Amino acid sequence: MKLKDLYSFLKKDLQQIEDQLIRSVSSDQPVIQTAGMELLKAGGKRIRPVFVLLSAQFGTYNIHQVKKPAAALELIHMASLVHDDVVDDADTRRGRETVKAKYDSKIAMYTGDYIFASALKLMTDIDVPRAHQILAQGMKEMCLGEIEQINEQYDTDQNIRKYFKRIKRKTALLIALSCQLGAITSKADVSLQKILYEFGYCVGMAFQITDDILDFTASEKQLGKPAGSDLKQGNITLPALFTIYQYPEVKEKLNLYYESKDSALLAELLRDIKRLGGIEYASGISEKYLNRAKKAAHSLPDNDARDSLLKVADFIAGRKF
C-alpha cells in the first residue's frame, strides 16, 4: 500500500495545498522560480501538510483556512533542506542535484530564505496570535538543533541524551507543530491540541530514528545517497552511539576513521554497527516512540482522521526507505 492511500479522502484538499505551494515559490526572479519549482517536482512525502489536515479534522474543518499552515510548514521544511545541503556541501538529495550544486551556495541560501519568507507570509492570513508564537518558537528551536548538530559533529564522546534533544529540534518538532497548528487553526479543543502535539512529537522521533537506521541498512538506490553518509559526515546517530558506548574498540576505530578517512575502515564500521546490535537497539527505541504515538491517538475521538493518523504512523516508522 502507498502512503497516499492511507488518507485518500484528503486527495482534493492536498491538491489545493500543492497549488498553494506552486504559488508560494513563484517569483519574477528566474533563478528562484526555477529552483523553487525543481524542489517541488522533487516530491517528498508531504507528511507535514497531511498531519495538518488530519489534525484539523478534530475541529471545525475549513480547507481554505487550514491550507495556509499546511503549505507554510511544508515550505519551512523545504527551506531547511536547501540550507542543510549548503552546510553539508551536498550535491544530491533523493538522487537529484541540489540547488547548491546546480547554482552555488549563495543562490541556495537566498532561495531557502525566500521560501522561509513565503511561509511566514502565508501564516499572516491566520488570525490566531498563539499559532504565530508557536511557529516562531519552533523555528528558533530548529535553528538550535542545527547548531547542535554542527557542534557535535565528529564528537565520539557525545551522549545519547544530546542525540534525542537534537532530533527533537531538527525533525520531531516540526511534525508536532504540524499536528498542533492543524488543531489550533480549526479551533479544536485545547485538550485535543495537546494530544495531537504529543502524537506528532512521538511520530517525529520515530520517523527520524528510522531515517537514521536506514542510513545503515538501505541501499544507495533507495536512499538517493551512499549508505553510511551520516557517519561519514560526522553525524553520529543512535545505532552508532549505542555501538561505540557498548564496544570501546569500535569507538577507537571510529576515531581512527575520522583521522584517516579510510573507506575500508568505514565499511568495517558499518558492518560492526549492524553486527553488534546498534540497529536492533535503535529499532527498539523507535518502536517505543511509535507506541507512545498510538496511545495518544487512541485517546482522540474515533473518526476517519484518527484511523489515518494511526496508519500513517505505522507506515512512516516502518518504512524501508
What span, in angstroms and rounded, lies between the C-alpha atoms of 210 and 135? Answer: 25
Give the number of domains in the chain. Answer: 1
* Contacts with 309 (C-beta within 8 Å, 6 or more apart), sequence order: 51, 54, 55, 199, 297, 300
Q: What is the pLDDT of residue 3?
A: 73
What span, in angstroms and rounded, lies between the C-alpha atoms of 85 and 48? Answer: 20
CATH number for the domain spanning 226: value is: 1.10.600.10
Nearest to 61 by CA among 133, 134, 12: 12
pLDDT digit string, tens, across residues 106-131: 999 999 999 999 999 999 989 999 99
Q: What are phi and psi of 227, to 5 degrees?
A: -60, 145
Question: Is residue 157 predicted with pLDDT exceeding 80?
Answer: yes
- Banded model confidence at residue 223, pLDDT cuts 50, 70, 90: low
Please tell me which residue, 204 or 35, carries the higher pLDDT value. 204
Question: Is residue 259 predicted with pLDDT exceeding 90?
Answer: yes
pLDDT digit string, tens, across residues 134-145: 999 999 999 999
- Banded model confidence at residue 92, pLDDT cuts 50, 70, 90: confident
Q: What is the pLDDT of residue 319?
A: 67
Side-chain half-sphere exposure of 142, counting CA atoms within 13 A: 22
Q: What is the pLDDT of residue 122?
A: 93
Q: What is the pLDDT of residue 37?
A: 87
What span, in angstroms and rounded, lies between the C-alpha atoms of 75 and 111? Answer: 11
- Which parts of the chain are beta strand (E)? 92-93, 96-97
What span, in angstroms and rounded, lies between the C-alpha atoms of 110 and 238? Answer: 32
Domain around 217: 3-317
Q: What is the pLDDT of residue 284?
A: 96
pLDDT digit string, tens, across residues 13-60: 999 999 999 999 898 888 888 888 888 887 778 899 999 999 999 999
Question: Is residue 256 predicted with pLDDT exceeding 60?
Answer: yes
Q: Is the dihedral of CA 247, 248, 250, 255 positive or negative?
A: positive
Q: Is the dihedral of CA 300, 306, 310, 316 positive or negative?
A: negative
Q: What is the pLDDT of residue 320?
A: 58
- Banded model confidence at residue 91, pLDDT cuts 50, 70, 90: confident
Cell readout for 127 is: 488570525
Q: What is the pLDDT of residue 99?
A: 86
Question: Is residue 104 predicted with pLDDT exceeding 90?
Answer: no
Question: Is residue 94 predicted with pLDDT exceeding 80?
Answer: no
**Which letter, b or e, does each residue of 37-68 get, where b requires 16 or more Cβ atoms within 10 Å of its Cβ?**
ebbbebeeebbbbbbbbbbbbbbebebebbbb
Q: What is the pLDDT of residue 224?
A: 57
Please tell me which residue, 42 or 160, carries the higher pLDDT value. 160
What average pLDDT is seen over the chain?
91
- Does residue 199 contact residue 182 with C-beta atoms inside 8 Å? no
- Does residue 255 contact residue 244 with C-beta atoms inside 8 Å? no
The percentage of residues in the chain with a pLDDT greater than 90, rounded to a whole number, is 73
pLDDT, mean of residues 194-211: 96
What span, in angstroms and rounded, lies between the C-alpha atoms of 230 and 188? Answer: 39
The percentage of residues in the chain with a pLDDT greater than 70, rounded to a whole number, is 96
Q: What is the pLDDT of residue 221?
A: 60
pLDDT, mean of residues 62-88: 92
